[in-house]
Protein backbone atom coordinates (compact mmCIF):
# COMPACT_ATOMS: atom_id res chain seq x y z
CA UNK A 1 0.00 0.00 0.00
CA UNK A 2 1.43 3.36 -1.07
CA UNK A 3 0.73 6.29 1.22
CA UNK A 4 -0.24 9.66 -0.23
CA UNK A 5 2.11 12.59 0.42
CA UNK A 6 0.31 13.99 3.46
CA UNK A 7 -0.21 10.61 5.14
CA UNK A 8 3.43 9.75 4.46
CA UNK A 9 4.39 13.07 6.10
CA UNK A 10 2.23 12.28 9.16
CA UNK A 11 3.68 8.80 9.52
CA UNK A 12 7.33 9.90 9.17
CA UNK A 13 6.81 12.96 11.40
CA UNK A 14 5.04 10.88 14.05
CA UNK A 15 7.76 8.25 14.17
CA UNK A 16 10.61 10.78 14.18
CA UNK A 17 8.96 12.91 16.85
CA UNK A 18 8.30 9.85 19.04
CA UNK A 19 11.96 8.85 18.77
CA UNK A 20 13.16 12.37 19.58
CA UNK A 21 10.71 12.64 22.49
CA UNK A 22 11.94 9.36 23.99
CA UNK A 23 15.59 10.39 23.54
CA UNK A 24 14.92 13.77 25.16
CA UNK A 25 12.88 12.47 28.09
CA UNK A 26 14.93 9.36 28.86
CA UNK A 27 18.45 10.26 27.77
CA UNK A 28 19.01 14.03 27.57
CA UNK A 29 17.01 14.96 30.68
CA UNK A 30 18.02 11.98 32.82
CA UNK A 31 21.53 11.05 31.67
CA UNK A 32 23.07 14.44 30.80
CA UNK A 33 23.08 18.01 32.04
CA UNK A 34 22.53 19.46 28.53
CA UNK A 35 18.99 20.45 29.40
CA UNK A 36 20.14 22.40 32.45
CA UNK A 37 23.01 24.00 30.54
CA UNK A 38 20.65 25.12 27.78
CA UNK A 39 18.16 26.55 30.30
CA UNK A 40 21.00 28.35 32.05
CA UNK A 41 22.24 29.81 28.76
CA UNK A 42 18.79 31.07 27.78
CA UNK A 43 18.28 32.60 31.22
CA UNK A 44 21.65 34.35 31.17
CA UNK A 45 21.00 35.82 27.71
CA UNK A 46 17.52 36.98 28.78
CA UNK A 47 19.13 38.57 31.85
CA UNK A 48 21.61 40.47 29.65
CA UNK A 49 18.82 41.67 27.37
CA UNK A 50 16.80 42.92 30.33
CA UNK A 51 19.85 44.73 31.70
CA UNK A 52 20.47 46.29 28.27
CA UNK A 53 16.86 47.53 28.40
CA UNK A 54 17.68 49.28 31.67
CA UNK A 55 16.23 46.85 34.22
CA UNK A 56 17.96 45.78 37.41
CA UNK A 57 17.76 42.00 37.37
CA UNK A 58 18.48 38.95 39.42
CA UNK A 59 19.30 35.45 38.17
CA UNK A 60 17.37 32.56 39.68
CA UNK A 61 19.96 29.92 40.59
CA UNK A 62 19.69 26.33 41.72
CA UNK A 63 22.33 23.60 41.81
CA UNK A 64 24.90 25.81 40.10
CA UNK A 65 22.66 26.63 37.12
CA UNK A 66 20.61 29.70 36.29
CA UNK A 67 17.01 28.56 35.94
CA UNK A 68 15.32 31.87 35.37
CA UNK A 69 15.52 35.61 35.59
CA UNK A 70 13.66 38.37 37.31
CA UNK A 71 13.47 42.12 37.51
CA UNK A 72 14.03 43.56 40.99
CA UNK A 73 10.63 44.03 42.59
CA UNK A 74 9.11 40.94 40.95
CA UNK A 75 9.09 37.20 41.52
CA UNK A 76 10.77 36.65 38.15
CA UNK A 77 10.17 33.84 35.70
CA UNK A 78 11.40 30.28 36.01
CA UNK A 79 12.57 28.54 32.83
CA UNK A 80 11.74 24.86 32.98
CA UNK A 81 12.42 22.01 30.58
CA UNK A 82 9.17 22.67 28.75
CA UNK A 83 10.18 26.29 28.16
CA UNK A 84 13.68 25.87 26.80
CA UNK A 85 12.49 25.24 23.21
CA UNK A 86 14.52 22.04 22.71
CA UNK A 87 11.35 20.05 22.00
CA UNK A 88 10.26 22.83 19.64
CA UNK A 89 13.55 22.51 17.75
CA UNK A 90 12.79 18.81 17.40
CA UNK A 91 9.24 19.44 16.26
CA UNK A 92 10.40 21.96 13.66
CA UNK A 93 13.22 19.73 12.43
CA UNK A 94 10.88 16.75 12.16
CA UNK A 95 8.39 18.77 10.10
CA UNK A 96 11.10 19.78 7.64
CA UNK A 97 12.72 16.34 7.45
CA UNK A 98 9.38 14.59 6.96
CA UNK A 99 8.17 16.87 4.14
CA UNK A 100 9.74 16.27 0.72
CA UNK A 101 12.50 18.64 -0.33
CA UNK A 102 16.10 18.85 -1.40
CA UNK A 103 18.61 17.80 1.26
CA UNK A 104 20.79 20.82 0.41
CA UNK A 105 17.93 23.11 1.47
CA UNK A 106 17.09 21.09 4.57
CA UNK A 107 20.72 21.33 5.73
CA UNK A 108 20.52 25.13 5.98
CA UNK A 109 16.79 25.67 6.59
CA UNK A 110 16.64 23.54 9.75
CA UNK A 111 19.51 25.31 11.59
CA UNK A 112 18.29 28.76 10.51
CA UNK A 113 14.78 27.92 11.71
CA UNK A 114 16.12 26.64 15.03
CA UNK A 115 18.13 29.82 15.57
CA UNK A 116 15.02 31.92 14.84
CA UNK A 117 12.94 29.81 17.25
CA UNK A 118 15.69 30.18 19.87
CA UNK A 119 15.76 33.97 19.47
CA UNK A 120 11.96 34.16 19.66
CA UNK A 121 12.07 32.07 22.83
CA UNK A 122 14.58 34.47 24.41
CA UNK A 123 12.29 37.38 23.49
CA UNK A 124 9.42 35.42 25.07
CA UNK A 125 11.31 35.03 28.34
CA UNK A 126 12.30 38.71 28.37
CA UNK A 127 8.70 39.82 27.78
CA UNK A 128 7.39 37.40 30.40
CA UNK A 129 9.90 38.80 32.92
CA UNK A 130 8.66 42.32 32.12
CA UNK A 131 5.05 41.16 32.49
CA UNK A 132 5.93 39.54 35.85
CA UNK A 133 7.35 42.89 36.94
CA UNK A 134 4.72 45.27 35.59
CA UNK A 135 1.55 43.17 35.28
CA UNK A 136 2.01 40.04 37.41
CA UNK A 137 -1.71 39.17 37.26
CA UNK A 138 -1.36 38.64 33.49
CA UNK A 139 1.71 36.40 33.62
CA UNK A 140 -0.06 33.03 33.69
CA UNK A 141 -2.41 33.92 30.83
CA UNK A 142 0.39 35.21 28.61
CA UNK A 143 2.65 32.27 29.41
CA UNK A 144 -0.06 29.68 28.84
CA UNK A 145 -1.97 31.14 25.91
CA UNK A 146 -0.38 34.15 24.21
CA UNK A 147 3.13 32.84 23.84
CA UNK A 148 2.06 29.27 23.14
CA UNK A 149 0.03 30.63 20.22
CA UNK A 150 2.88 32.90 19.07
CA UNK A 151 5.58 30.20 19.18
CA UNK A 152 3.52 27.46 17.51
CA UNK A 153 2.22 29.91 14.89
CA UNK A 154 5.82 30.90 14.13
CA UNK A 155 6.87 27.26 13.72
CA UNK A 156 3.84 26.60 11.52
CA UNK A 157 4.75 29.68 9.47
CA UNK A 158 8.28 28.40 8.98
CA UNK A 159 6.90 25.04 7.90
CA UNK A 160 4.54 26.75 5.43
CA UNK A 161 7.51 28.71 4.06
CA UNK A 162 9.31 25.39 3.62
CA UNK A 163 6.33 23.72 1.93
CA UNK A 164 5.59 26.65 -0.39
CA UNK A 165 9.11 27.79 -1.22
CA UNK A 166 11.63 25.00 -0.71
CA UNK A 167 9.80 21.68 -0.90
CA UNK A 168 10.48 19.33 -3.75
CA UNK A 169 7.46 20.74 -5.59
CA UNK A 170 9.09 24.16 -5.67
CA UNK A 171 12.81 23.33 -5.88
Alpha carbons within 13 angstroms on the beta-carbon side of residue 48 total 7
- Interval 20-71: pLDDT, tens: 999 999 998 889 888 899 999 999 999 999 999 999 999 999 888 899 999 9
Q: Are residues 97 and 106 in contact, defined by beta-carbon separation less than 8 angstroms?
A: yes
Per-residue pLDDT at 63: 83
Domain ranges of the chain: 5-166
**Bridge partners of 71?**
57
- Interval 127-155: pLDDT, tens: 999 999 999 999 999 999 999 999 999 99
Q: What are the backbone dihedrals phi and psi of residue 40, each rounded to the nearest 5 degrees, phi first? A: -60, -45
Task: Tell whether the torsion through CA atoms of 43, 111, 144 and 35 is positive or negative.
Answer: negative
Q: How far apart are CA 154 and CA 159, in angstroms?
A: 9
Amino acid sequence: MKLSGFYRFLLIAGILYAVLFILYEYVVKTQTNWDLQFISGISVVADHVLQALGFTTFPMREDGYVHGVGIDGSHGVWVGSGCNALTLFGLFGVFIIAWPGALKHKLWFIPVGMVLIHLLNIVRIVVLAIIAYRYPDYLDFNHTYTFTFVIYSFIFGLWLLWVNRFSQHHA
